[in-house]
Structure 1
Amino acid sequence: MKTRWRHLLLFIGNPLEKDLFRRTQGRLTRIYSELLILFLVLFIAIVYTVLHFVIMKNQEQELRTLLVQESDYIENYLVKNNQSDWNKEDNQELVFAGANQFFYYVVNSNGEMIMGNEDNPRLRPELLRLLTNLDHNETGMHRETLQMSEKPMGRMNRGEFHATGENEDLRLLIASQPIVVKGQYIGQLYIGKDISFTYHLFQWVLTILIIMGIVFFGVAVYMSVVMSKRAMVPISKAFTRQREFVGDASHELRTPLSVLLSSIDAMEMTMDLDEKEFVGRLLFNMRQEVKRMTNLVGDLLTLARSDSNTLEVRNEMFDFHPYAEKAVESVKPLVEEKEILLRLESSGSLPAVGDPERLSQLLYILLDNAIKYTPNHGEVLLTLEKAGTDLCFAVKDTGIGIRKEDIPLIFERFYRVDKSRSRQMGGHGLGLSIAKWIVDTHKGSIRVSSELGKGTTFLVRIPRVLIAQDGT
């Protein structure tokens, strides 16, 4: 339990790590959510389709059975009474109305109704007009819609729902079958069934499924968050072990590097390097490489300690201007070597709140980065100013610039836009990561604007607020 709380505190205390884990967990959450939602949509579509198919097939089967029964009854009646013409038949109730029957009509080859009945007599003209659009002399099942302009008044069969509101559509399922007696075509039998209730049922089912989908959408997102958190546990543990290894290794490497540097100094003091030019070049190269390794180990140790929150950040009021002048003075050898014009523009005293050493380190990193990527005879401008109570400074160079797609990545550890060029210039991809950490611990912001071939500007803003001792 203590280990888990420790990992949680480390995760909360480190903005860079927290941002990395948040992005990774966010991607996992989106993937899990998309898969669950896709399954949910497919489930709703399949359920609705199956229900629609089963219910409509059941309605068609009932109507088909009713059609066969009444068709057989008519044909038997005609055979029994030896009749082949109903034009003079006055009995309009010859065919018994089924329990779920909305209307039945017998229409001759001329499209004239021989006999029939319906729930609402006032709908007969509309129903007959609807039947004229159907193909006669054909056995089939049709779904038709009757536009209602008034409330239908008439008897209602048990178990059926009819449109009751004005201008509501009446959904009809119509089955037809020809009446043939002794090889002679008598007419076409049409039986209609009101399935408006079925369509309303489909709407209710779809509404319920959508509501359930919305509820389960929230459940899917919650499950995705839970699953992504569980998936991040082994990643977090591996990251913690890697971070501890980097910190321990960096700490252990400082001693042998210090011994190497001291040994090189002692050898230079005891040897006549003027007489042994080759040995002098070897010692110079060794010194430069040991210094580079020392800087790299120092940067790694800084990041490792910042990750574990063991690196304390001072919190005091001070004048930043003298520290800026000292940083400019410290990079003068680099400037003179490349014949770069370095200018400092400041309005004088610059009160700030924070850690003077860390903010000086931030400024040195930005100046060193600008000088490193600015060609000979270029220009670097450092501007210091106050914005209200905030401290602002900008480092502008006339260097090679940064591509727009690389700008969001330059603060990541070990990221280098041009690896071969960075190796030649001695870069190892940690300076800007440390700069971003310093800015974050002071609750500030750092912005970058750049144009290839014209230069880059880093703009830093440090608010005048008290920072917590853990850097958060």
Structure 2
Amino acid sequence: MIPGGALIRLAAWYLVLIALILACFNVIVYFTLSQTLQARVAADLEAKSRLVMASLATSDAAVAPPQAVGDTAYGDTFVRVLQTTGKVPTIVLNAPKIDGLFDQDDNAVARAEVGLTTESQDTAGGQLYAIRTDPVKNKKGAVVGALQVARPISWIGDTLTRLERQLALASGVGLILGALVAFLMALKSLRPIQRNLKKQREFVADASHELRTPLTLIRTNAEAWLRRAAGTPQATYAQHILEEVDQLNAIVGDLTTLALADARQLRIERRPVELSGIVRELIDHTAPLAEERHVRLAPELNGGVQVQADAIRMRQLLLILLDNALSYTPEGGEVSVSVARQNGKAKVTVADTGPGISARDLPHIFDRFYRADKARSGGDGHIGLGLPIAKWIVDAHRGDIQVKSTPGVGTRIAVSLPAMEEEPWLLNLP
């Protein structure tokens, strides 16, 4: 089964990619059309300017428009001709005349006087116009005037606005279809991973199952050898074999747990569980081991902290944390365990005074088979499955697990679980 979170994240990335492609396409289409329309208007104005220029009569110091020019002589193009040889430019043609048009083009006229062409825009009568200003020269090449031609271009803005709406509508439909495509692409991309994970889980489950029988036989034979060799040096060897078999059985059990958890075949039987009672039982269970290692156990248990949980899994979780702390705490160190209610959460904290975990290793401690530095891995019998199982148990109970560690000082693991409502009779528990 493909994890839903991974499928959604990958589909989201594909959708983002599709959205970026659509956005780039829209920008390219918009600006291409905008530039094309403006270039067409500029080319039309240039052609009209040449046409009008050819009809002008010039002398050494004057320019004269064609005879009998009416308001419709130039179609939808507005033309103004100025004579610039005097102190002030004089209008000799303005057809058809629109109030306000060309009023802001003094700078363009000044540039025409020195032989430069200017393209500009102006607004008149609620319309936007594109304006081209060219110098008018006589036969000797001297500038005697300025020719201005203008055309309304508000239709370009209207066209681009309609294009924006159409692109927005098309993009919306594209994103809906893109979401479907992204989901199908993500599903297809994850299928090989799904098959590999399924094969891996099946292998782990099958291997764990097949290992149990030979391990049981080895243990039975080792126990028989230990009984026969009682009081002889061979009894030590038999005892070592039993210890290693127990270690292997624990590993096989962890592998089976993770394989079943991955396959979602482990059921969580929730019922009210009092955490302090479980911790107290585990402390009594691990006290001989702590005493053997000269490690002090410091419990701080507050009664009345209940959670809706699987009692067996809660015991497994707390045993993993306590066993880890005892394994990594040196002789003369201390392991503290506390249970308390904080802000509607049941909080269990296990802290040790061991070597700690480096900042490099800390992000990986919940990875399967990950081993931290040698200070926390040598000769402890752990292969890196305990904390991944602990995290799975916490996640299955909608809880949170946090680890803080300082190298050379110790490690603190805090588990938060949703707490049940307080019952008055529980408040009197020790």
| TM-score, scaled relative to structure 1 | 0.76
Given that 1:175 and 1:191 are in contact with CA atoms closer than 8 Å, whether structure 2 keeps it comes out as yes
300, 308, 324: which one aligns with 2:263: 308
13, 19, 27: which one aligns with 1:37: 19
Secondary structure of the corresponding residue to residue 424 of structure 1: coil
Name the counterpart of 1:255: 213
365, 368, 371: which one aligns with 1:416: 371
Name the counterpart of 2:281: 326
Given that 1:71 and 1:179 are in contact with CA atoms closer than 8 Å, whether structure 2 keeps it comes out as no
The AA in structure 2 aligned to 1:325 is R
Q: Distance between the aligned counterparts of 2:286 and 2:185, measured in 1?
A: 50
1:2-401 matches, within 5 Å, as 7=1, 18=3, 22=5, 24-75=6-57, 86=62, 93=69, 97-110=73-86, 112-113=89-90, 115-123=92-100, 126-127=103-104, 129-136=106-113, 138=115, 140=117, 142-146=118-122, 152=125, 162-163=126-127, 170-181=128-139, 186-206=144-164, 208-210=166-168, 212-213=170-171, 216-271=174-229, 274=232, 276=233, 279-280=234-235, 282-317=237-272, 319-348=274-303, 353-386=308-341, 391-401=346-356
* Pair 1:281–1:420, CA change in 2 (3 A): farther
The 10-residue stretch of structure 1 (246-255 or 377-386) with the greater mean CA deviation from structure 2: 377-386
* Pair 1:136–1:253, CA change in 2 (3 A): same
Given that 2:15 and 2:182 are in contact with CA atoms closer than 8 Å, whether structure 1 keeps it comes out as yes
Identity of aligned residues (%): 28
Secondary structure of the corresponding residue to residue 126 of structure 1: coil
* Pair 1:138–1:96, CA change in 2 (3 A): farther
* Pair 1:192–1:183, CA change in 2 (3 A): same
Q: Distance between the aligned counterparts of 2:63 and 2:264, measured in 1?
A: 102
Q: Distance between the aligned counterparts of 1:215 and 1:405, measured in 2?
A: 46
- Post-superposition offset of 1:391: 4.6
The AA in structure 1 aligned to 2:377 is S
- Post-superposition offset of 1:311: 3.5
Given that 2:78 and 2:149 are in contact with CA atoms closer than 8 Å, whether structure 1 keeps it comes out as yes
Q: Distance between the aligned counterparts of 2:217 and 2:201, measured in 1?
A: 25
Q: Distance between the aligned counterparts of 2:101 and 2:21, measured in 1?
A: 48
Q: For residues 406-435 of structure 1, what are the alpha-carbon distances to aligned partners after superposition, in whole Å with 9 as ceiling and x for unaligned?
A: 555433322333368425322111111222
Given that 2:134 and 2:146 are in contact with CA atoms closer than 8 Å, whether structure 1 keeps it comes out as yes
Given that 1:92 and 1:117 are in contact with CA atoms closer than 8 Å, whether structure 2 keeps it comes out as no
Given that 1:87 and 1:114 are in contact with CA atoms closer than 8 Å, whether structure 2 keeps it comes out as no
Given that 1:108 and 1:186 are in contact with CA atoms closer than 8 Å, whether structure 2 keeps it comes out as yes
* Pair 1:99–1:120, CA change in 2 (3 A): same
* Pair 1:125–1:430, CA change in 2 (3 A): closer
Secondary structure of the corresponding residue to residue 326 of structure 1: helix
Secondary structure of the corresponding residue to residue 295 of structure 1: helix
- Post-superposition offset of 1:361: 1.5
Q: Distance between the aligned counterparts of 1:220 and 1:456, measured in 2?
A: 47
Name the counterpart of 2:384: 429
- Matched length: 420
Q: For residues 137-176 of structure 1, what are the alpha-carbon distances to aligned partners after superposition, in whole Å with 9 as ceiling and x for unaligned?
A: 5364x33233x5xx73xxxxxxxxx52xxxxxx4423142
Name the counterpart of 1:14: none
Q: For residues 230-262 of structure 1, what are the alpha-carbon distances to aligned partners after superposition, in whole Å with 9 as ceiling and x for unaligned?
A: 322232232122112211210110111121122
| TM-score, scaled relative to structure 2 | 0.83
Q: Distance between the aligned counterparts of 1:342 and 1:99, measured in 2?
A: 100
Where in structure 2 are there 5+ consecutive unaligned residues? 422-430
Given that 2:339 and 2:349 are in contact with CA atoms closer than 8 Å, whether structure 1 keeps it comes out as yes
User: Over aligned residue pairs, what C-alpha RMSD do you find?
Assistant: 3.5
Name the counterpart of 1:159: none
